[in-house]
């Protein structure tokens, strides 16, 4: 093989090296960041879920009803049971989420969270299961989720109070938060009812604002 032939082969090997490098760049390069795409879809999905919850009523899922736990004294007759039944078929899922938060009063005094006794209404756990079932059906399998319902804190001088509840379902593999979408709702109970409930929980009457805003945040995880 003469020297010029060897020269050509050397040139071609350098050329091949450059092409290999270009190919590697092309294979490695992604035209669009897949994280951006999945985040965009997740954000749209979360937003749509929160908006749809504002309209969807519980009766579409068999409805929701509960009995007030007032029958602890053995007077457990069917007539009394019927009279303590509250049916919430007409309530939207957003209203039920906020009601769920109302069962979780958080009191903070000088930066320290105080423990409060949860009310003994039978609604609490059943409502949580009902809502989790719907969220699992809608979101589960696609994303992990973390739904937080939280009222804006009320500063009463000596204490700060807020209502907060959360429902979550993470797979073990969930590692990355894709999005966090929030909507604001008002409490679905009257001001008098809210005052009565907080009084029952705290043992003292509070001057509450008439309209307490509640944030519902849905985080989706992959």
Partner 1 sequence: MEQLSVGEDLFATLAVVGLFILFIATLAHSYYLFTERRNAYESFDLTLDIAEYIKNHVLADSPGSIDLTMNKLENCSKLLVQEGIELRVEVRTLGGDVLLAYGPEQNQLGGYLSPPCSVSLPLAVMRGQGSAQLCELVVWARRR
Smallest gap from Cβ 29 to partner 1, in A, equals 6
Cβ at position 120, least distance to partner 1 in Å: 31
- The CB-based long-range contact list for 121-126 (8 Å cut-off, 24+ gap) reads 121/66, 121/68, 121/69, 122/66, 122/67, 122/68, 122/69, 123/66, 123/86, 123/99, 124/100, 126/64, 126/66
Least distance from C-beta 183 to partner 1, angstroms?
9
CB of 144 to partner 1, least distance (A): 16
Q: What is the rounded (10 degree) CA torsion for 9, 15, 19, 24?
A: 90
Nearer to partner 1, 61 or 121 (CB): 61
Q: Are strands 213-221 and 144-151 parallel, antiparallel or unpaired?
A: antiparallel
> 58 vs 104, which CB is nearer to partner 1?
58
Please, which residue, 20 or 199, has the CB nearer to partner 1?
20
Interacting residues toward partner 1 by CB under 8 A: 1-2, 4-6, 8-9, 12-13, 15-16, 19-20, 22-24, 26-27, 29-32, 34, 37, 40-41, 44-45, 48-57, 59-61, 90, 92-93, 134, 137-138
């Amino acid at each position: 093989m003469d020297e010029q032939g060897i020269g050509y082969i050397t040139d071609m090997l350098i050329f091949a090296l450059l092409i290999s490098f270009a190919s590697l760049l092309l294979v490695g390069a992604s035209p669009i960041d897949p994280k951006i795409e999945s985040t965009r879809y997740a954000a749209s999905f979360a937003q749509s879920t929160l908006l749809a919850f504002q309209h969807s009523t519980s009766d579409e899922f068999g409805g929701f009803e509960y009995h007030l736990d007032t029958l602890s004294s053995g007077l457990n007759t069917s007539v009394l049971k019927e009279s303590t039944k509250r049916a919430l078929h007409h309530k939207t899922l957003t209203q039920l989420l906020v009601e769920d938060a109302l069962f979780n009063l958080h009191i903070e005094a000088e930066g320290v969270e105080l423990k409060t006794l949860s009310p003994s209404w039978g609604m609490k756990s059943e409502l949580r299961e009902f809502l989790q079932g719907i969220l699992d059906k809608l979101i589960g399998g696609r994303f992990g989720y973390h739904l937080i319902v939280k009222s804006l804190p009320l500063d009463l001088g000596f204490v700060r109070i807020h209502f907060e509840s959360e429902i979550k379902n993470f797979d073990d593999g969930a590692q990355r938060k894709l999005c966090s979408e929030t909507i604001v709702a008002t409490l679905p109970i009257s001001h008098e009812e809210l005052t009565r409930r907080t009084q029952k929980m705290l043992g003292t009457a509070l001057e509450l604002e008439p309209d307490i805003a509640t944030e519902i945040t849905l985080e989706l995880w992959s």
